[in-house]
Amino acid sequence: MNTKVWLQAFRLRTLPLALSCIAMGGFLASAAGAFQWNIFLLCVSTTIFLQILSNLANDYGDSVNGADHAGRKGPSRAVQSGAITAQQMRAAVIIFVILCLISGISLLLVSFGVNWNAILFFFGLGVLSIVAAIAYTVGRKPYGYMGLGDISVLIFFGLVGVMGSYYLFTKQVTAYQVLPALSCGLFSIAVLNVNNIRDIESDRMAGKFSIPVRIGKDKAVTYHWFLLIGGLLSAVLYCVLTYNAPWQFLFLLSAPLFIKNGLAVSRKPSHELDPYLKQMALSTLVFVLLFGIGQLLS
């Protein structure tokens, strides 16, 4: 087994984004005095397994459906390049489904004990997360090819990721947590949007109707600014509504990072956007860290 090839297929650069929503939930729980390390670490492991599962399924699905081909602008994918066979990738997807279930069930037992109603509800959310990770590009009608990926990202990287993890710590949630959850969700969509703008031509050829394919690059750039500004404004509104101290606005120090990303998406040709996926993901993580520190200092 070529370890380097598999690590590339895991797309480790996507992990900071996946961990951002869990970190946000953890920071909010800590500010509420309910943080527990065992719950947090199990949230992290479950999220990592889910993200890698999504990446592997995406590699397999895009290869099978033709979105990964020689004309694609981004990095070559494992199945499309022949570095990993389709059969090997299917086996890896099954392995990570099992890892997700083991880690997720352990998380629920640690968090809820024998509260079976809560366990069954969150187990259902977990199964939906697994299905969403696979069905994005796999199957007869993958929803990513219909332009529904943005909605899925908002739900799972935003609302479920932040509010769900917060609930695992605190056993309660309020309407206020929707706002930081929206911030994480909108920034996560922005990462996907950079990816889709980069691949707009190859996706169009493959019949993958992402949002940029549907509305064109110029409107996709406007959409990108909406996501960036919306993410920041959601966090500002949360801090205004829950105001305790100026430290809560520490996250605004991350604003130049998002402006840099927005300007790059606006000005650079599509084939030069690949580095800005990582930049946007890391910017989101920096935002979450600053937001969380501000919450703790307040």
What whole-number percentage of the chain has pLDDT above 70? 95
Instruction: Express each pLDDT in 160-195 by its tens digit.
Output: 999 999 999 999 999 999 999 999 999 999 999 999
Q: What is the pLDDT of residue 84?
A: 87
Average confidence (pLDDT) over 214-228? 97
Question: Lowest-confidence range among 137-146, 184-193, 205-214, 240-249?
Answer: 137-146
Q: What is the pLDDT of residue 167?
A: 97
More confident residue, 13 or 47: 47
Average confidence (pLDDT) over 111-139? 92
Res 11 pLDDT > 50: yes
More confident residue, 10 or 227: 227
- Per-residue confidence band for 108, with pLDDT thresholds at 50, 70 and 90: very high
Instruction: Express each pLDDT in 239-285 by its tens digit.
Output: 999 999 999 999 999 999 999 999 999 999 999 999 999 999 999 99
What whole-number percentage of the chain has pLDDT above 90? 75
Average confidence (pLDDT) over 183-210? 93
Average confidence (pLDDT) over 104-130? 95
Q: What is the pLDDT of residue 72?
A: 47
For the entire predicted model, the pTM comes to 0.92
- Per-residue confidence band for 137, with pLDDT thresholds at 50, 70 and 90: confident
Instruction: Express each pLDDT in 64-91 by its tens digit.
Output: 765 554 454 556 667 877 788 889 999 9
Mean pLDDT for the chain? 92
Closest CA to 252 of 225, 234, 227: 234
The Cα–Cα gap between 197 and 276 comes to 11
Res 211 pLDDT > 90: yes
Alpha carbon distance, N-terminus to C-terminus of the chain: 50
Res 43 pLDDT > 70: yes
- Per-residue confidence band for 59, with pLDDT thresholds at 50, 70 and 90: confident
Average confidence (pLDDT) over 231-240? 98
Structure tokens at 97: 């489904």
The Cα–Cα gap between 75 and 135 comes to 22
- Per-residue confidence band for 238, with pLDDT thresholds at 50, 70 and 90: very high
